[in-house]
Amino acid sequence: MVALTIQASGGASIALRIYEPDSPDRGSVVIGGAMGVRQDFYAPFAQWLSRQGWRVATFDYRGSGDSAPDTPNGSLRGFKANLFDWTRDYEAVIDHAHALLPQQPLYLLGHSLGAQLPGLINNQHKVSGLLSVAAGSGYWRENAPQLKRIVPYFWFILVPLATRLCGYFPGRRLKKVGDLPAGVIMQWRKWCLNPRYSVGAEGEAVRLRYANVTFPVLALSITDDELMTLRGTHSLINLYENAPREVQCIAPADLAVRRIGHFGPFRREHEVLLWPRIGQWFNGLARPVTE
């Protein structure tokens, strides 16, 4: 693994890790992480995927993880960033990965938020396909039942109050999501309160951005996901209205395990049975996906 820093728009420094393959390159995979999840979480899976012949890149969005601001204790108070900025970070990593292997395919593996932002990127032409894992629209009425019960308190009381008091969202102290820049959490709030999520909240320009995507999108919906629902997954994937797209479900019973959940697909306990399936899905992206 090689750790490095690249520059994104506005001079933001983005911490990046490259996992070189042991065997000849099959192409590149950029892992776009979930909201509030550091790239460290994906390291075991990224190492495994590199052993299958892929050059894998992980990163932290500006203001998070190893891309935290250079301030005392990495404080986010007053740090300027929103979800469009995070999309620019994603773009910068895609540019870097593509430049390393320009003649080979580059796939995105988006976990949750990491499958939402690719609809906004400007360098879609460099992407060969998106594998969406445990991702869906964040619209609160399409959240999983146990989450939907607490979401009104979260969005209407906790987030506005905590963000106003602290100058950022102190998720680590609150044990909710993680520390997030004020611009990120408040824009995400706007998305999650809109029935059409990012497209509904941001308008026609964003709808057209998603509609311009033509690379294939394959979405993996986890039946015991405690955050996302199958309905929410379809809502997100249908934003990619002109892309070849497909949604597949996977249940714990398919792997003879008791639980997978929202974060389980990347836990080492699923290395033997689930990770090879994910590798096969990347192979499937190389062929047209039926709607």
What fold, for 2-285?
Rossmann fold (3.40.50)
* pLDDT score, position 286: 64
- 132-145: average pLDDT: 95
- 264-277: average pLDDT: 94
Q: Residue 26 — pLDDT band, cuts 50, 70, 90?
A: confident
Which region among 3-12, 63-72, 112-121, 133-142 has the lowest average model confidence (pLDDT)? Answer: 63-72
Q: Which 3 state secondary structure label does DSSP give 265?
A: helix
Do residues 132 and 138 touch, judged by C-beta distance below 8 A?
no
26 vs 104, 107, 245, 247, 286, CA distance in Å? 7, 11, 22, 24, 11
What does the alpha-carbon distance between residue 146 and residue 169 come to, in Å, rounded to a whole number?
22
212 vs 216, 224, 233, 246, 290, CA distance in Å? 12, 32, 19, 17, 18
pLDDT digits (tens, 9 = 90+) for 195-230: 999 999 999 999 999 999 999 999 999 999 999 999
Evaluate if residue 79 carries a pLDDT over 70. Answer: yes
Q: Residue 289 — pLDDT band, cuts 50, 70, 90?
A: very low
114 vs 11, 41, 71, 136, 156, CA distance in Å? 22, 14, 26, 10, 25
- 163-174: average pLDDT: 94
- 12-25: average pLDDT: 90
Looking at residue 137, what DSSP letter applies?
-
What does the alpha-carbon distance between residue 194 and residue 198 come to, in Å, rounded to a whole number?
8
What does the alpha-carbon distance between residue 61 and residue 188 come to, in Å, rounded to a whole number?
14
Evaluate if residue 24 carries a pLDDT over 70. Answer: no
pTM of the model: 0.94
Do residues 102 and 126 touch, judged by C-beta distance below 8 A?
no
- 90-114: average pLDDT: 96
pLDDT digits (tens, 9 = 90+) for 94-105: 999 999 999 999
Q: Residue 287 — pLDDT band, cuts 50, 70, 90?
A: low
Q: How would you list the strands of the sheet with 217-222, edge to edge?
A: 2-7, 13-19, 54-59, 27-32, 106-111, 129-133, 217-222, 245-250
246 vs 70, 174, 233, 273, 289, CA distance in Å? 41, 36, 10, 22, 7
